Amino acid sequence: MITTSEEAAHELLEVVPAVMKEIRAEMRNRRTLDLTVPQFRALAFVDKNKDASLSVVANHMGLTLPTTSRLIDLLIARGFLTREDDPSDRRRLKLAVTKRGLTILDASRRGTLDYLVNKLNGVDAEDRQLIVEGMKALRLVFINDAQIKAGVK
C-alpha cells in the first residue's frame, strides 16, 4: 500500500502533538521544584541552542524582552546559566547552561527517557522497529530542513 504525502501529513498532525504533550508533561513533572515551568523551558532551550541570545530565547518562549531578561537574570543569579558578551557583536549576550543547570536537565531527561522506555516496553518489537525507522525518516526530513533554515551546514 502506497501512502500519499497528504496521508502522512495528516498522521503527523494528529500524532506528533499528542506525543510532544506527553513528553513535555513528563519533563515538567520531573523538573526540580525550585524552578518554574518557564524557567525550566528557558534552561532547556539554552541547552539545545548553544550561545543563544536573549532575543532568541524571548522569541521561543513567546515573551517580551524585559520579561525574558528578568527570567534569565534569575537563572543566572541562581547559578543555572551564565552570560557573556558576544565578541562579534557587543550588543549581543551569549547564554550558556552551567554544570548545576545541566544536572537538573539531565535528571529530568533521564526520568523522561525511563518513562518512555516503560511505555514502549508494552509495544511489540516489530512495532518498536517501525517507530525507530519512522523517527529516522522524520529526522532526515525535519532536522535537515531546520538546519538549512538556520544556516547550519
Question: Is it the case that residue 148 has pLDDT exceeding 50?
Answer: no
- Regarding whether 45 and 28 lie in a shared domain, the answer is yes
What CA–CA distance (Å, rounded) separates 111 from 29?
A: 9
Specify the amino acid at residue 44: A
Contact 43, 104 (CB under 8 A): yes
- Regarding whether 135 and 63 lie in a shared domain, the answer is no
What CA–CA distance (Å, rounded) separates 5 from 102?
A: 39
- Regarding whether 66 and 107 lie in a shared domain, the answer is yes
- Regarding whether 72 and 116 lie in a shared domain, the answer is yes
Question: Is it the case that residue 146 has pLDDT exceeding 60?
Answer: no
- Regarding whether 86 and 12 lie in a shared domain, the answer is yes
- Regarding whether 145 and 101 lie in a shared domain, the answer is no
Rounded to two decimals, the pTM is 0.67
Q: What is the pLDDT at residue 97? A: 95
- Regarding whether 132 and 78 lie in a shared domain, the answer is no
Specify the amino acid at residue 52: A
Range of the domain at 129: 123-153
- Regarding whether 135 and 72 lie in a shared domain, the answer is no
What CA–CA distance (Å, rounded) separates 59 from 126?
A: 40
CA–chain centroid gap for 106, Å, is: 12
Q: How many structural domains are present in the chain? A: 2
State percent of the chain over pLDDT 70: 92
Q: Which residues of 19-43 are buried (b: 16+ CB within 10 A; e: fewer)?
A: eeeeeeebbeebbeeebeeebbbbb
Q: What is the pLDDT at residue 147? A: 53
- Regarding whether 26 and 100 lie in a shared domain, the answer is yes
CATH code of the domain covering residue 63: 1.10.10.10
- Regarding whether 117 and 47 lie in a shared domain, the answer is yes
State pLDDT tens for residues 94-109: 899 999 999 988 888 8
| pLDDT interval class at 151 (50, 70, 90) | very low
- Regarding whether 82 and 138 lie in a shared domain, the answer is no
Cell of residue 46, nine digits = 539554552
Query: Which parts of the chain are beta strand (E)?
Result: 81-86, 89-97
